Amino acid sequence: MKTRRLYYTDSLQREFDATVVSSEVADGRATVVLDQTAFYPTSGGQPFDTGRLGEGRVVDVIDDDAGEVRHVVDTLLAPGARVHGTIDWPRRLDHMQQHTGQHVLSAAFDRLHGVRTVSFHLGSDTATIDLAREVTPAEIARAEAEANRVVWEDRSVTVRFATDDEVSQLPLRKEPVRSGLLRLVEVQEFDLSACGGTHVPATGMIGIIAVAAWERFKGASRVTFVCGGRALRAYGQLRDAMVAASRALSVAAPDVGATVERLQADAKELGRTIRRLQDEVAVGRAANLRAGAEDIAGRLGVLRHEPGWDAAGLKTLASAIVREPGTIAVLVGDGTPAPVVIARSADVNFDAAEWMKQAAGSLGGRGGGRPELAQGGLGVSPERVLAYAKDTLK
């Protein structure tokens, strides 16, 4: 026996009474079939309703192959029992706003631009439609405006049933995928589609249809949209983010983008200036450090903790030190892990990259480079890095 689907003819019905036809436990899930139900099962891109059945909760609703609606419940009910069902209304209303909004938006794309909707997905935060070709931002804006005009005209949304023969004479937006008796959803003088979903009774209840994002792929487009309550929540999130950004930048909201671009350009310029200054300072500092170098196995060794130099600066400094022959430099900066640079003069036979690999293995951290210069980050204090260098470079 097929379940009588109350939501087919009255999508606003939140409560109902029914008789349990059968119940079973399979794969650890208790399912109940009723003679009639207002619970919508997952199908046609729209997720299931949740709510209460008797004392228990409905956690999933499945449309099975036999045409029965299976309620997955946390409390099993005996066959023959009379139960009262209540659906979770905020969730259902949200699904109806998105689903009817989808019909209107898809029809707007179809009527204005001749673009077919290939598929519809209703997720927990946003919904998407896939369109049969790439659409431009201007086409999206026009379809969005047209869809909202239809929302604000508060047009009726009605449901009727028709046979295949009758349907073949009707201007349906999309070829129906099923045969037999079809359920048709009509947005007054705007859209006619075969659909089993729940819909608001008039378009005004959608509230608003807002396109949130779009992407083009393989000659098609995916449009992400939010309707009704979701649009209001999305607006609130954007507003909060924008208020925070404009406060942090001390500019009006419309100027946030340009201000961030300017700050990024400034930061780039500052970085260039710092590198130029480091190059200049490195030359003088390198001469000082070479003057105080110690003898390490017959070579000039500069083993130094240089606070205030970042990894790039240490590299510049080390390169300047080893420009003179016969020198090895190991420089350690501040940070966790500590930035370490090792470099040698062209005439010194020593593999800096190999040393860095060994040091990372012994002291913890990572690093690499070329035989003449290597850098890394080591997980110990500068003093320990330098003591290790002294031991291993002998």
Give residues in contact with Zn ion (CB under 5 A). Answer: 195, 197
The residue among 103 and 304 lying less far from Zn ion, judged by its C-beta, is 103
CA angle 337, 342, 346 (to 5 degrees): 165
Q: Which amino acid is at 379?
A: G
User: How near is the Cβ of 197 to Zn ion at its closest, in Å?
Assistant: 4
The residue among 173 and 344 lying less far from Zn ion, judged by its C-beta, is 173
The residue among 96 and 373 lying less far from Zn ion, judged by its C-beta, is 96
User: How near is the Cβ of 83 to Zn ion at its closest, in Å?
Assistant: 29
Count of Cβ atoms closer than 10 Å to residue 224 Cβ: 17
The residue among 197 and 228 lying less far from Zn ion, judged by its C-beta, is 197
3-state per-residue secondary structure call for the chain: CCCEEHHHCCCCCCEEEEEEEEEEEECCEEEEEECEECCCCCECCECCCCEEECCEEEEEEEECCCCCEEEEECCCCCCCCEEEEEECHHHHHHHHHHHHHHHHHHHHHHHHHCCCEEEEEECCCCEEEEECCCCCHHHHHHHHHHHHHHHHCCCEEEEEEECHHHHHCCCCCCCCCCCCCEEEEEECCCEEEECCCCCCCEHHHHCCEEEEEEEEECCEEEEEEEEHHHHHHHHHHHHHHHHHHHHHHCCCHHHHHHHHHHHHHHHHHHHHHHHHHHHHHHHHHHHHHHHCCEEECCEEEEEEECCCCCHHHHHHHHHHHCCCCCEEEEEECCCCCEEEEEEECCCCCCCHHHHHHHHHHHHCEEEEECCCEEEEEECCCHHHHHHHHHHHHC
User: How near is the Cβ of 140 to Zn ion at its closest, in Å?
Assistant: 20
User: How near is the Cβ of 46 to Zn ion at its closest, in Å?
Assistant: 7
Residue 2: both structure tokens together: 């097929």
The residue among 105 and 195 lying less far from Zn ion, judged by its C-beta, is 195
The residue among 96 and 389 lying less far from Zn ion, judged by its C-beta, is 96
User: How near is the Cβ of 22 to Zn ion at its closest, in Å?
Assistant: 29
User: How near is the Cβ of 44 to Zn ion at its closest, in Å?
Assistant: 5
User: How near is the Cβ of 114 to Zn ion at its closest, in Å?
Assistant: 20
Q: What is the distance between the alpha carbons of residues 366 and 384, in angstroms, rounded to a whole number?
A: 16
The residue among 196 and 376 lying less far from Zn ion, judged by its C-beta, is 196
User: How near is the Cβ of 185 to Zn ion at its closest, in Å?
Assistant: 6
The residue among 7 and 388 lying less far from Zn ion, judged by its C-beta, is 7
Q: CB nearest Zn ion: which residue?
A: 195
The residue among 195 and 226 lying less far from Zn ion, judged by its C-beta, is 195
By the 10 Å C-beta count (0-12 exposed, 13-18 middle, 19+ buried), 29 is classed as middle
User: How near is the Cβ of 228 to Zn ion at its closest, in Å?
Assistant: 16
Count of Cβ atoms closer than 10 Å to residue 308 Cβ: 7
The residue among 195 and 314 lying less far from Zn ion, judged by its C-beta, is 195
User: How near is the Cβ of 99 to Zn ion at its closest, in Å?
Assistant: 6
